[in-house]
Amino acid sequence: MWPLTVLPLLLLLLCSGLAGQTLFQSPEEGWQLYTSAQAPDGKCICTAVIPAQSTCSRDGRSRELRQLMEKVQNVSQSMEVLELRTYRDLQYVRSMETLMRSLDARLRAADGSLSAKSFQELKDRMTELLPLSSVLEQYKADTRTIVRLREEVRNLSGSLAAIQEEMGAYGYEDLQQRVMALEARLHACAQKLGCGKLTGVSNPITIRAMGSRFGSWMTDTMAPSADSRVWYMDGYYKGRRVLEFRTLGDFIKGQNFIQHLLPQPWAGTGHVVYNGSLFYNKYQSNVVVKYHFRSRSVLVQRSLPGAGYNNTFPYSWGGFSDMDFMVDESGLWAVYTTNQNAGNIVVSRLDPHTLEVMRSWDTGYPKRSAGEAFMICGVLYVTNSHLAGAKVYFAYFTNTSSYEYTDVPFHNQYSHISMLDYNPRERALYTWNNGHQVLYNVTLFHVISTAGDP
Protein backbone atom coordinates (compact mmCIF):
# COMPACT_ATOMS: atom_id res chain seq x y z
CA MET A 1 0.00 0.00 0.00
CA TRP A 2 1.34 3.40 -0.99
CA PRO A 3 1.60 5.51 2.18
CA LEU A 4 0.76 8.70 0.30
CA THR A 5 -2.41 7.58 -1.47
CA VAL A 6 -4.75 10.49 -1.01
CA LEU A 7 -8.11 9.52 0.40
CA PRO A 8 -11.10 11.86 0.72
CA LEU A 9 -10.36 15.01 2.65
CA LEU A 10 -10.96 14.95 6.37
CA LEU A 11 -12.22 18.37 7.43
CA LEU A 12 -11.35 19.32 11.02
CA LEU A 13 -13.22 22.41 12.15
CA LEU A 14 -11.57 23.84 15.23
CA CYS A 15 -13.70 26.48 16.92
CA SER A 16 -11.80 29.04 18.94
CA GLY A 17 -14.09 28.76 21.97
CA LEU A 18 -13.83 25.01 22.54
CA ALA A 19 -12.03 24.61 25.86
CA GLY A 20 -8.71 25.91 24.66
CA GLN A 21 -8.21 23.11 22.13
CA THR A 22 -7.43 25.46 19.20
CA LEU A 23 -4.31 24.47 17.26
CA PHE A 24 -3.91 27.82 15.49
CA GLN A 25 -4.78 31.34 16.56
CA SER A 26 -8.19 32.31 15.20
CA PRO A 27 -8.09 34.92 12.45
CA GLU A 28 -10.17 38.07 12.58
CA GLU A 29 -11.94 37.28 9.31
CA GLY A 30 -11.89 34.53 6.72
CA TRP A 31 -11.27 30.85 7.27
CA GLN A 32 -7.63 29.81 7.45
CA LEU A 33 -7.16 26.39 5.88
CA TYR A 34 -4.16 24.13 6.33
CA THR A 35 -4.14 21.00 4.16
CA SER A 36 -1.62 18.23 4.35
CA ALA A 37 -1.27 14.54 3.55
CA GLN A 38 0.66 13.68 6.68
CA ALA A 39 -1.73 11.43 8.61
CA PRO A 40 -0.25 8.01 9.60
CA ASP A 41 -2.84 6.24 7.41
CA GLY A 42 -2.09 8.50 4.43
CA LYS A 43 -5.28 10.55 4.54
CA CYS A 44 -5.19 14.11 3.40
CA ILE A 45 -6.03 16.29 6.37
CA CYS A 46 -7.51 19.76 6.20
CA THR A 47 -7.55 21.92 9.30
CA ALA A 48 -9.88 24.90 9.10
CA VAL A 49 -9.37 27.67 11.66
CA ILE A 50 -12.65 29.51 12.01
CA PRO A 51 -12.71 33.30 12.57
CA ALA A 52 -12.94 34.58 16.13
CA GLN A 53 -16.40 35.97 15.45
CA SER A 54 -17.68 32.64 14.16
CA THR A 55 -21.25 31.68 14.94
CA CYS A 56 -19.82 28.51 16.40
CA SER A 57 -19.08 30.37 19.64
CA ARG A 58 -22.12 32.66 19.62
CA ASP A 59 -25.06 30.51 18.61
CA GLY A 60 -27.66 30.58 21.41
CA ARG A 61 -29.11 27.21 20.57
CA SER A 62 -25.65 25.64 20.78
CA ARG A 63 -25.12 27.14 24.24
CA GLU A 64 -28.53 25.91 25.40
CA LEU A 65 -27.83 22.40 24.19
CA ARG A 66 -24.43 22.45 25.88
CA GLN A 67 -26.03 23.55 29.16
CA LEU A 68 -28.62 20.77 28.87
CA MET A 69 -25.86 18.25 28.33
CA GLU A 70 -24.13 19.46 31.49
CA LYS A 71 -27.37 19.13 33.47
CA VAL A 72 -27.96 15.63 32.16
CA GLN A 73 -24.42 14.71 33.19
CA ASN A 74 -24.96 16.10 36.69
CA VAL A 75 -28.24 14.20 37.09
CA SER A 76 -26.57 11.02 35.87
CA GLN A 77 -23.77 11.38 38.42
CA SER A 78 -26.25 12.02 41.24
CA MET A 79 -28.23 8.93 40.27
CA GLU A 80 -25.07 6.82 40.31
CA VAL A 81 -24.16 8.00 43.82
CA LEU A 82 -27.71 7.40 45.02
CA GLU A 83 -27.79 3.91 43.54
CA LEU A 84 -24.50 2.96 45.16
CA ARG A 85 -25.55 4.25 48.56
CA THR A 86 -29.00 2.64 48.39
CA TYR A 87 -27.50 -0.72 47.51
CA ARG A 88 -25.08 -0.51 50.43
CA ASP A 89 -27.81 0.47 52.93
CA LEU A 90 -30.14 -2.23 51.63
CA GLN A 91 -27.55 -4.88 52.37
CA TYR A 92 -27.24 -3.52 55.91
CA VAL A 93 -31.02 -3.51 56.49
CA ARG A 94 -31.29 -7.11 55.27
CA SER A 95 -28.65 -8.20 57.77
CA MET A 96 -30.48 -6.34 60.54
CA GLU A 97 -33.74 -8.05 59.59
CA THR A 98 -32.41 -11.41 60.76
CA LEU A 99 -31.28 -9.88 64.06
CA MET A 100 -34.68 -8.26 64.70
CA ARG A 101 -36.52 -11.55 64.09
CA SER A 102 -34.21 -13.27 66.57
CA LEU A 103 -34.92 -10.57 69.16
CA ASP A 104 -38.66 -10.87 68.61
CA ALA A 105 -38.53 -14.64 69.15
CA ARG A 106 -36.54 -14.23 72.38
CA LEU A 107 -38.98 -11.67 73.77
CA ARG A 108 -41.96 -13.88 73.00
CA ALA A 109 -40.27 -16.90 74.62
CA ALA A 110 -39.39 -14.93 77.77
CA ASP A 111 -43.11 -14.63 78.65
CA GLY A 112 -42.53 -11.74 81.10
CA SER A 113 -39.57 -13.13 82.97
CA LEU A 114 -35.92 -12.55 82.02
CA SER A 115 -32.79 -13.70 83.74
CA ALA A 116 -29.93 -11.31 84.17
CA LYS A 117 -27.99 -13.18 81.54
CA SER A 118 -30.86 -13.04 79.02
CA PHE A 119 -31.40 -9.36 79.71
CA GLN A 120 -27.74 -8.58 79.03
CA GLU A 121 -27.88 -10.54 75.77
CA LEU A 122 -30.93 -8.57 74.64
CA LYS A 123 -29.23 -5.33 75.59
CA ASP A 124 -26.18 -6.23 73.47
CA ARG A 125 -28.43 -7.07 70.54
CA MET A 126 -30.26 -3.75 70.86
CA THR A 127 -26.91 -1.95 70.78
CA GLU A 128 -26.21 -3.57 67.44
CA LEU A 129 -29.44 -2.06 66.11
CA LEU A 130 -28.53 1.52 66.99
CA PRO A 131 -26.89 2.35 63.58
CA LEU A 132 -30.17 1.48 61.91
CA SER A 133 -31.61 4.88 62.91
CA SER A 134 -28.97 6.76 60.89
CA VAL A 135 -29.63 4.52 57.90
CA LEU A 136 -33.33 5.34 58.08
CA GLU A 137 -32.47 9.04 58.26
CA GLN A 138 -30.38 8.63 55.11
CA TYR A 139 -33.37 7.00 53.45
CA LYS A 140 -35.40 10.13 54.23
CA ALA A 141 -32.69 12.35 52.71
CA ASP A 142 -32.48 10.13 49.62
CA THR A 143 -36.22 10.44 49.21
CA ARG A 144 -35.86 14.21 49.06
CA THR A 145 -33.03 13.79 46.53
CA ILE A 146 -35.27 11.64 44.37
CA VAL A 147 -37.95 14.31 44.42
CA ARG A 148 -35.40 16.94 43.38
CA LEU A 149 -34.04 14.77 40.59
CA ARG A 150 -37.57 14.09 39.38
CA GLU A 151 -38.15 17.84 39.11
CA GLU A 152 -34.84 18.26 37.31
CA VAL A 153 -35.76 15.59 34.78
CA ARG A 154 -39.15 17.26 34.26
CA ASN A 155 -37.44 20.57 33.49
CA LEU A 156 -34.99 18.91 31.11
CA SER A 157 -37.84 17.16 29.33
CA GLY A 158 -39.59 20.49 28.84
CA SER A 159 -36.47 22.12 27.40
CA LEU A 160 -35.83 19.23 25.05
CA ALA A 161 -39.46 19.22 23.98
CA ALA A 162 -39.16 22.90 23.05
CA ILE A 163 -36.07 22.19 20.95
CA GLN A 164 -37.77 19.19 19.37
CA GLU A 165 -40.77 21.36 18.50
CA GLU A 166 -38.47 23.90 16.86
CA MET A 167 -36.60 21.24 14.90
CA GLY A 168 -39.79 19.37 14.12
CA ALA A 169 -40.65 21.94 11.49
CA TYR A 170 -38.57 19.82 9.14
CA GLY A 171 -39.86 16.41 8.14
CA TYR A 172 -37.60 13.50 7.35
CA GLU A 173 -37.48 14.26 3.64
CA ASP A 174 -36.77 17.94 4.33
CA LEU A 175 -33.94 17.02 6.67
CA GLN A 176 -32.56 14.60 4.09
CA GLN A 177 -32.57 17.36 1.47
CA ARG A 178 -30.81 19.69 3.89
CA VAL A 179 -28.16 17.03 4.57
CA MET A 180 -27.62 16.52 0.84
CA ALA A 181 -27.28 20.27 0.36
CA LEU A 182 -24.70 20.43 3.16
CA GLU A 183 -22.79 17.54 1.59
CA ALA A 184 -22.76 19.41 -1.72
CA ARG A 185 -21.39 22.51 0.01
CA LEU A 186 -18.74 20.41 1.74
CA HIS A 187 -17.73 18.93 -1.60
CA ALA A 188 -17.49 22.41 -3.11
CA CYS A 189 -15.40 23.49 -0.14
CA ALA A 190 -13.12 20.48 -0.63
CA GLN A 191 -12.57 21.58 -4.21
CA LYS A 192 -11.49 25.01 -2.97
CA LEU A 193 -9.10 23.34 -0.56
CA GLY A 194 -7.16 21.89 -3.49
CA CYS A 195 -5.05 25.03 -3.79
CA GLY A 196 -3.14 27.15 -1.33
CA LYS A 197 0.18 28.63 -0.37
CA LEU A 198 3.04 26.32 0.56
CA THR A 199 3.80 26.53 4.28
CA GLY A 200 5.57 23.26 4.99
CA VAL A 201 7.41 20.29 3.52
CA SER A 202 7.47 17.02 5.46
CA ASN A 203 10.42 14.84 6.25
CA PRO A 204 11.48 12.66 3.31
CA ILE A 205 10.00 9.21 2.70
CA THR A 206 12.45 7.00 0.84
CA ILE A 207 10.65 4.67 -1.56
CA ARG A 208 13.62 2.95 -3.15
CA ALA A 209 17.33 3.26 -3.92
CA MET A 210 17.75 2.45 -7.61
CA GLY A 211 19.80 3.67 -10.53
CA SER A 212 22.53 6.25 -10.94
CA ARG A 213 23.05 9.57 -9.22
CA PHE A 214 20.73 11.39 -11.65
CA GLY A 215 17.32 10.49 -12.99
CA SER A 216 13.58 10.96 -12.68
CA TRP A 217 10.51 8.98 -11.65
CA MET A 218 6.83 9.91 -11.64
CA THR A 219 3.18 8.89 -11.81
CA ASP A 220 0.48 10.27 -14.10
CA THR A 221 -1.01 13.37 -12.50
CA MET A 222 -4.26 12.96 -14.46
CA ALA A 223 -4.81 9.23 -14.00
CA PRO A 224 -7.70 7.92 -11.84
CA SER A 225 -6.82 6.86 -8.31
CA ALA A 226 -6.95 3.17 -9.30
CA ASP A 227 -4.09 3.75 -11.76
CA SER A 228 -0.87 3.70 -9.74
CA ARG A 229 1.63 3.08 -12.54
CA VAL A 230 5.15 4.40 -12.01
CA TRP A 231 7.54 5.55 -14.75
CA TYR A 232 11.30 5.43 -14.25
CA MET A 233 14.00 7.15 -16.35
CA ASP A 234 17.62 6.68 -15.26
CA GLY A 235 20.26 9.23 -16.27
CA TYR A 236 20.13 12.84 -17.44
CA TYR A 237 21.14 12.78 -21.13
CA LYS A 238 20.96 10.64 -24.29
CA GLY A 239 18.64 8.16 -22.57
CA ARG A 240 15.79 6.47 -24.45
CA ARG A 241 14.64 3.67 -22.13
CA VAL A 242 11.55 4.30 -19.98
CA LEU A 243 10.38 1.60 -17.54
CA GLU A 244 6.67 1.45 -16.73
CA PHE A 245 5.84 -0.40 -13.49
CA ARG A 246 2.28 -1.61 -12.91
CA THR A 247 2.07 -0.34 -9.32
CA LEU A 248 4.25 1.39 -6.75
CA GLY A 249 4.62 -1.94 -4.97
CA ASP A 250 5.99 -3.44 -8.17
CA PHE A 251 8.38 -0.49 -8.51
CA ILE A 252 9.66 -1.07 -4.98
CA LYS A 253 10.20 -4.78 -5.72
CA GLY A 254 11.51 -4.19 -9.24
CA GLN A 255 8.94 -6.46 -10.88
CA ASN A 256 6.01 -6.37 -13.36
CA PHE A 257 7.26 -3.68 -15.72
CA ILE A 258 7.35 -3.03 -19.43
CA GLN A 259 9.88 -1.03 -21.43
CA HIS A 260 9.28 1.91 -23.76
CA LEU A 261 12.08 2.86 -26.17
CA LEU A 262 11.72 6.52 -27.10
CA PRO A 263 12.33 7.37 -30.77
CA GLN A 264 14.39 10.41 -29.70
CA PRO A 265 16.70 10.67 -26.66
CA TRP A 266 16.04 12.97 -23.74
CA ALA A 267 18.03 15.72 -22.05
CA GLY A 268 17.87 16.60 -18.35
CA THR A 269 15.51 15.15 -15.73
CA GLY A 270 12.57 17.56 -16.00
CA HIS A 271 10.18 15.09 -17.61
CA VAL A 272 6.53 14.71 -16.65
CA VAL A 273 3.74 12.22 -17.37
CA TYR A 274 0.42 13.93 -18.04
CA ASN A 275 -2.80 12.25 -19.18
CA GLY A 276 -1.10 9.17 -20.62
CA SER A 277 1.76 10.97 -22.36
CA LEU A 278 5.38 11.73 -21.52
CA PHE A 279 6.58 15.32 -22.05
CA TYR A 280 10.35 15.69 -22.31
CA ASN A 281 13.15 17.79 -23.84
CA LYS A 282 14.76 16.28 -26.93
CA TYR A 283 18.53 15.94 -26.51
CA GLN A 284 20.66 18.81 -27.91
CA SER A 285 17.63 20.93 -28.84
CA ASN A 286 14.93 23.16 -27.36
CA VAL A 287 12.24 20.83 -28.74
CA VAL A 288 9.42 19.60 -26.50
CA VAL A 289 8.31 16.04 -27.32
CA LYS A 290 4.95 14.51 -26.43
CA TYR A 291 5.21 10.73 -26.44
CA HIS A 292 2.00 8.67 -26.03
CA PHE A 293 2.60 5.48 -24.05
CA ARG A 294 -0.36 3.42 -25.26
CA SER A 295 0.26 4.00 -28.96
CA ARG A 296 4.05 4.10 -28.43
CA SER A 297 4.33 7.07 -30.74
CA VAL A 298 5.18 10.78 -30.75
CA LEU A 299 1.93 12.74 -30.97
CA VAL A 300 3.48 16.18 -31.36
CA GLN A 301 6.81 17.99 -30.96
CA ARG A 302 7.51 21.69 -31.00
CA SER A 303 10.40 24.05 -30.42
CA LEU A 304 10.14 26.27 -27.36
CA PRO A 305 10.94 29.77 -28.75
CA GLY A 306 14.25 31.15 -27.45
CA ALA A 307 14.69 28.46 -24.80
CA GLY A 308 18.27 27.65 -23.88
CA TYR A 309 19.46 24.05 -24.09
CA ASN A 310 22.56 21.84 -23.86
CA ASN A 311 23.61 23.21 -20.44
CA THR A 312 23.26 26.85 -21.47
CA PHE A 313 20.92 27.74 -18.59
CA PRO A 314 20.69 24.71 -16.30
CA TYR A 315 19.90 24.52 -12.59
CA SER A 316 22.88 24.83 -10.24
CA TRP A 317 23.66 21.10 -10.51
CA GLY A 318 23.99 21.16 -14.33
CA GLY A 319 22.91 17.92 -15.98
CA PHE A 320 21.34 19.45 -19.12
CA SER A 321 18.52 20.71 -16.88
CA ASP A 322 17.79 23.71 -19.14
CA MET A 323 14.12 22.78 -19.61
CA ASP A 324 11.87 21.55 -16.82
CA PHE A 325 8.26 20.43 -17.41
CA MET A 326 5.71 20.48 -14.61
CA VAL A 327 2.03 19.81 -13.95
CA ASP A 328 -0.08 21.35 -11.19
CA GLU A 329 -3.78 21.84 -10.53
CA SER A 330 -4.12 24.19 -13.50
CA GLY A 331 -2.25 22.27 -16.20
CA LEU A 332 1.06 21.86 -18.02
CA TRP A 333 4.00 24.24 -17.52
CA ALA A 334 7.52 24.70 -18.87
CA VAL A 335 10.29 26.32 -16.82
CA TYR A 336 13.36 27.46 -18.76
CA THR A 337 15.47 30.51 -19.62
CA THR A 338 16.19 32.59 -22.71
CA ASN A 339 18.98 34.97 -23.69
CA GLN A 340 16.38 37.70 -23.89
CA ASN A 341 15.58 37.17 -20.20
CA ALA A 342 19.26 37.39 -19.24
CA GLY A 343 19.34 33.95 -17.64
CA ASN A 344 16.30 34.53 -15.41
CA ILE A 345 13.70 31.80 -15.02
CA VAL A 346 10.79 31.98 -17.45
CA VAL A 347 7.50 30.20 -16.67
CA SER A 348 5.26 29.34 -19.62
CA ARG A 349 1.85 27.77 -19.67
CA LEU A 350 1.66 25.16 -22.48
CA ASP A 351 -1.28 23.77 -24.39
CA PRO A 352 -0.94 20.00 -23.73
CA HIS A 353 -2.39 19.14 -27.15
CA THR A 354 -0.36 21.45 -29.40
CA LEU A 355 2.54 22.40 -27.07
CA GLU A 356 2.01 26.04 -28.01
CA VAL A 357 2.92 28.66 -25.41
CA MET A 358 -0.29 30.17 -24.02
CA ARG A 359 1.36 32.75 -21.75
CA SER A 360 4.78 33.44 -20.23
CA TRP A 361 6.13 35.17 -17.11
CA ASP A 362 9.65 36.43 -16.39
CA THR A 363 10.27 35.67 -12.70
CA GLY A 364 13.49 37.69 -12.39
CA TYR A 365 15.19 34.82 -10.54
CA PRO A 366 18.52 33.59 -12.04
CA LYS A 367 18.15 29.94 -13.02
CA ARG A 368 21.75 29.03 -12.34
CA SER A 369 21.19 30.05 -8.70
CA ALA A 370 18.25 27.66 -8.35
CA GLY A 371 18.73 24.13 -7.07
CA GLU A 372 15.38 22.88 -8.43
CA ALA A 373 11.83 24.18 -8.84
CA PHE A 374 8.21 22.97 -8.82
CA MET A 375 4.72 24.39 -9.44
CA ILE A 376 1.78 24.30 -7.01
CA CYS A 377 -1.49 26.07 -7.82
CA GLY A 378 0.11 28.38 -10.39
CA VAL A 379 2.95 29.34 -8.05
CA LEU A 380 6.56 28.53 -8.93
CA TYR A 381 8.60 27.53 -5.87
CA VAL A 382 12.40 27.54 -6.14
CA THR A 383 14.96 25.92 -3.84
CA ASN A 384 18.18 27.78 -3.21
CA SER A 385 20.41 24.72 -3.59
CA HIS A 386 20.48 21.11 -4.76
CA LEU A 387 22.82 20.20 -1.89
CA ALA A 388 22.38 19.67 1.86
CA GLY A 389 20.87 22.64 3.68
CA ALA A 390 18.50 23.50 0.83
CA LYS A 391 15.21 25.27 1.48
CA VAL A 392 12.33 26.63 -0.55
CA TYR A 393 13.62 30.15 -0.96
CA PHE A 394 11.59 31.92 -3.65
CA ALA A 395 7.97 31.93 -4.85
CA TYR A 396 6.55 33.50 -8.00
CA PHE A 397 2.76 33.97 -8.27
CA THR A 398 1.57 33.81 -11.87
CA ASN A 399 -1.93 35.06 -10.99
CA THR A 400 -0.54 38.41 -9.78
CA SER A 401 2.84 38.44 -11.59
CA SER A 402 4.52 39.05 -8.24
CA TYR A 403 7.10 37.26 -6.12
CA GLU A 404 8.27 36.89 -2.55
CA TYR A 405 11.18 35.31 -0.74
CA THR A 406 10.23 32.38 1.47
CA ASP A 407 11.89 30.28 4.14
CA VAL A 408 10.39 26.79 4.05
CA PRO A 409 12.76 24.13 5.44
CA PHE A 410 13.49 21.29 3.08
CA HIS A 411 15.40 18.24 4.32
CA ASN A 412 17.82 17.08 1.62
CA GLN A 413 18.56 13.68 3.10
CA TYR A 414 20.96 12.32 0.49
CA SER A 415 22.64 15.63 -0.34
CA HIS A 416 22.12 15.83 -4.11
CA ILE A 417 18.70 16.45 -5.67
CA SER A 418 18.57 16.19 -9.47
CA MET A 419 14.78 16.05 -9.92
CA LEU A 420 11.96 17.70 -7.94
CA ASP A 421 8.35 17.66 -9.10
CA TYR A 422 4.92 18.21 -7.56
CA ASN A 423 2.06 15.76 -8.15
CA PRO A 424 -1.33 17.42 -7.52
CA ARG A 425 -3.14 14.09 -7.41
CA GLU A 426 -1.21 12.88 -4.36
CA ARG A 427 -0.25 16.36 -3.13
CA ALA A 428 3.32 15.17 -2.84
CA LEU A 429 6.78 16.09 -4.10
CA TYR A 430 8.67 13.47 -6.09
CA THR A 431 12.45 13.70 -5.91
CA TRP A 432 15.47 11.85 -7.24
CA ASN A 433 18.11 12.29 -4.57
CA ASN A 434 21.53 10.80 -5.24
CA GLY A 435 20.13 7.52 -6.59
CA HIS A 436 17.19 7.43 -4.14
CA GLN A 437 13.54 7.84 -5.10
CA VAL A 438 11.99 9.97 -2.37
CA LEU A 439 8.59 11.50 -1.57
CA TYR A 440 7.67 14.54 0.51
CA ASN A 441 4.24 15.61 1.72
CA VAL A 442 3.36 19.30 1.52
CA THR A 443 1.18 21.54 3.70
CA LEU A 444 -0.82 24.27 1.97
CA PHE A 445 -2.48 27.34 3.49
CA HIS A 446 -5.50 29.15 2.11
CA VAL A 447 -7.96 31.82 3.27
CA ILE A 448 -11.53 31.60 2.06
CA SER A 449 -13.54 34.77 2.68
CA THR A 450 -16.80 34.14 4.55
CA ALA A 451 -18.44 37.24 3.09
CA GLY A 452 -21.80 36.39 1.59
CA ASP A 453 -21.94 32.91 3.06
CA PRO A 454 -25.46 31.88 4.00
- Give one DSSP letter per residue of 182-213, joined into a string: HHHHHHHHHHHTT--EEEEE---EEEEE-S-S
Sorted by sequence, the CB contacts under 8 Å of residue 17 that are 6+ apart come out as 56, 57
Residue 190, pLDDT above cutoff 80? no
Same domain, 210 and 349: yes
pLDDT: is 7 or 352 the higher one? 352
What is the band of 160 on the pLDDT scale with cuts at 50, 70, 90?
low
Residue 231, pLDDT above cutoff 90? yes
Q: Which of 4-8, 22-26, 239-243 comes out lowest in average pLDDT?
A: 4-8
Residue ranges making up the domain that contains 389: 188-445
Q: How far apart are CA 37 and CA 22, in angstroms?
A: 20
Same domain, 150 and 286: no
Q: How high is the pLDDT of residue 101? A: 72
Q: How far apart are CA 217 and CA 220, in angstroms?
A: 10
Residue 240, pLDDT above cutoff 70? yes
Sorted by sequence, the CB contacts under 8 Å of residue 368 that are 6+ apart come out as 313, 314, 315, 316, 343
pLDDT mean over 133-141: 66
pLDDT: is 75 or 301 the higher one? 301
Sorted by sequence, the CB contacts under 8 Å of residue 196 that are 6+ apart come out as 33, 35, 377, 444, 445, 446
Same domain, 240 and 133: no
Tell me the pLDDT tens digit for each residue of 42-97. 455 555 554 444 433 345 555 666 666 667 666 666 666 666 666 666 666 666 66
| Percent of residues, the chain, with pLDDT higher than 90 | 49
Same domain, 317 and 436: yes
Could you tell me if residue 8 is inside a domain?
A: no
Same domain, 143 and 192: no
Under 8 Å between Cβ of 96 and 104: no
| 440, β-bridge pairs | 429
Residue 26, pLDDT above cutoff 50? no
Residue 218, pLDDT above cutoff 90? yes
pLDDT: is 122 or 401 the higher one? 401
Same domain, 158 and 235: no
Quote the number of domains for the chain.
Answer: 2
Could you tell me if residue 11 is inside a domain?
A: no
3-state class of 343 per DSSP?
A: coil
Q: How far apart are CA 410 and CA 347, in angstroms?
A: 22
Provide the residue type at 213 as one letter: R
What is the band of 327 on the pLDDT scale with cuts at 50, 70, 90?
very high
Under 8 Å between Cβ of 202 and 185: no
